[in-house]
Amino acid sequence: MSYTNALHLGTAHQEWLKILEFYEIDIHILEKRLAEVNQKNTAFESRAEVEHFQNQFIIQRNNIIELRQRINAHAHEVMIDMQKHVGRVEEHKVVEHHVIEESLLNLERIINEIRHHFNRFLAKWF
């Protein structure tokens, strides 16, 4: 089995968790803005878009929770592996690390796209 140095993995996990915390706060702020728009606009078209964004925010919040759980589980597995192998981890843990990183980047892209569409919605209805 192949092993590699894992010192950088632990700091990445902490950074990722902070990024997820930022996006949770961001979604919370967007939801507050959505509630304001919902109160001020009763048009059917705005209601449909409000519901769309509510659903998107719920989905992304769930994605954040799921990714946080994956990161924490991976961090725990890496820590155990590092203890077993004196600061080194099996290569497949590094591969898994990169898969999780790609998931985070994808989540960021999706949330940024939603925010962009949401800002256009705000400009239209606020």
One-character DSSP codes across 10-63: HHHHHHHHHHHHHHHHHHHHHHHHHHHHHHH---HHHHHHHHHHHHHHHHHHHH
Residue 5: strand, helix, or coil: strand
**Type of residue at 115:** R
Average pLDDT over every residue of 37-46: 86
Given the candidates 1.10.3470, 3.40.50, 1.20.58, 1.10.1060, the CATH classification of the domain at 3-125 is: 1.20.58
Q: What is the pLDDT of residue 4?
A: 67
Domain boundary assignment for the chain: 3-125
d(CA 122, CA 38): 10
**pLDDT tens digits for range 16-31:** 999 999 999 999 999 9
pLDDT at 43 over 90: no
Tell me: the pLDDT tens digits for 59-73? 999 999 999 999 999
